[in-house]
Structure 1
């Protein structure tokens, strides 16, 4: 059992320090979601994490993820220490984004410099077996994205029974199959172009043609869609496979405000898991 009390369901989203983002975080908290994973791409800087913690009461934030090629370890450590002093237990450092020829060595060296953040307050974005082993050995656990329940079961075997397995999963609140799959496929199509995700998908049994065509069965495995109850049942498959926590990454097919309406519609079914 992991030491991080994140609940069984959380949210993955990109937030900034804007009034709309701060209000969205507060709304998620009011709806009962226990944790928000902050997508690294939209995150403008470490100050945003401090701002979000300050705008809420108790919801936990995890950087999901901070790219080690972008954020200096000393700066991350300082942010963690300041938040731990003012709001203990509310920020956990999620790391990843190590590029180059030796990503494992890069992450190891970064963790060596991050001694101010205890092991149990670090999580790694891990997909492959060696990265999962690193997450097991040098952090509280792993935060994989774009995986199936079957692969979650394999990840649990690598991590062992006592480490965190938190899965970020795409969710489309749409019951029309064609519309839901179109929205999901449009988002998923970006990731096979990234070598690490392509390798992960192949590791899960998908072929080159699958990665190019994104057939319906693949889309259905990588994104949960339907009514709230149907989505809840699909996410429960990850819990059965060994995940401690599933963070829903809502996609709507349009660029716009935070999906607070979707969080609200899903909350009764998902938070009952």
Structure 2
């Protein structure tokens, strides 16, 4: 079964974009700390060499893409990559698919990003026809924020992997979709000082504040246009990024579990870094891991 075996996972862009040796070493360390899944961004291009390396470097954790853009590989190409994974490793792989962002997709091919919900349906139709191992409904999740994509995630995948959402969003998704698998991501900082924490959080949130799909999602979640300006209000920052000591961070992330999540993908941030650094702060993870198991 490719679904994570326990409520806590680790989400890190560095697992995809840092040098392979460093990423694999980090994945092994996270596995030893007790997380049940390591989630790597799909990034741009074909991620399957890195997926195979992470599966080889670990033995028990689920390795998941959060997410692989449907614009990067055709369904036939994806089916071939899945079939090429060793069977033992494939049983620990969870395919996360998403429609990405218009800015990223159109940057290389202007005008390509259109009808994302329809395109996702078509992509899943084509992928289903391949009958590729590792591509079945119960072996994939969809990045979903709005109600229509959440509906699709519940009917055409095993569930949803929302990003930059609140426990209230998790609660609404759970009430809408019954027993569908739900694995939101929670950004977090081990910083108890509010000023420093919010300053660091804004560095990581900056790229997302310019993306229409996230802005629209936050407005649906009850934030105002003013909350989204000037680096984000304290209200928005505090709602999206859990900060404090390890116990405080676990309580904040655990609010998603209380709201109905099956699994929380903790994206632990480097207090001195920014989004573009793609650091995997293992020392902070070791500090947090003890609180996750108590």
Kindly state the Cα deviation for residue 86 of structure 1 after the two structures are TM-superposed: 3.1
Kindly state the Cα deviation for residue 40 of structure 1 after the two structures are TM-superposed: 2.0
Q: Which residue matches 1:231?
A: 249
Taking the TM superposition and a 5 Å limit, the aligned residue runs for 1:43-82 are: 45-82=47-84
Kindly state the Cα deviation for residue 176 of structure 1 after the two structures are TM-superposed: 1.1
The runs of at least 4 consecutive aligned structure 1 residues that moved more than 6 Å come to none
Distance in 2 (alpha carbons) for counterparts of 1:111 and 1:7 = 27
Q: Counterpart of 1:185 in 2: which secondary structure?
A: helix
Asked if 1:130 corresponds to 2:148, the answer is yes
Q: CA RMSD in A?
A: 1.9
Kindly state the Cα deviation for residue 241 of structure 1 after the two structures are TM-superposed: 0.6
Q: Which residue matches 2:194?
A: 177
**Distance 1:226-1:134 versus aligned 2 partners, 3 A rule:** same
**Distance 1:150-1:101 versus aligned 2 partners, 3 A rule:** same
Q: Which residue matches 2:291?
A: 269
**Distance 1:218-1:256 versus aligned 2 partners, 3 A rule:** closer
Q: Cα deviations across residues 215-265 of structure 1 (Å, max 9, x unaligned)? A: 212211111001000111111111111111111111123136421111111
Gaps of 5+ in 1: none
Gaps of 5+ in 2: 103-112
8 Å contact 1:83–1:90 — kept in the other structure?
A: no
Taking the TM superposition and a 5 Å limit, the aligned residue runs for 1:88-237 are: 88-97=90-99, 99=102, 100-115=113-128, 116=132, 117-160=135-178, 162-213=179-230, 214-237=232-255
Distance in 1 (alpha carbons) for counterparts of 2:163 and 2:37 = 16
Distance in 2 (alpha carbons) for counterparts of 1:137 and 1:256 = 33
Q: Counterpart of 2:73 in 1: which secondary structure?
A: coil
How many residues in Structure 1 have an aligned counterpart in Structure 2?
Answer: 270
**Distance 1:3-1:42 versus aligned 2 partners, 3 A rule:** closer
Distance in 2 (alpha carbons) for counterparts of 1:9 and 1:176 = 25
Kindly state the Cα deviation for residue 101 of structure 1 after the two structures are TM-superposed: 2.9
Kindly state the Cα deviation for residue 3 of structure 1 after the two structures are TM-superposed: 8.4
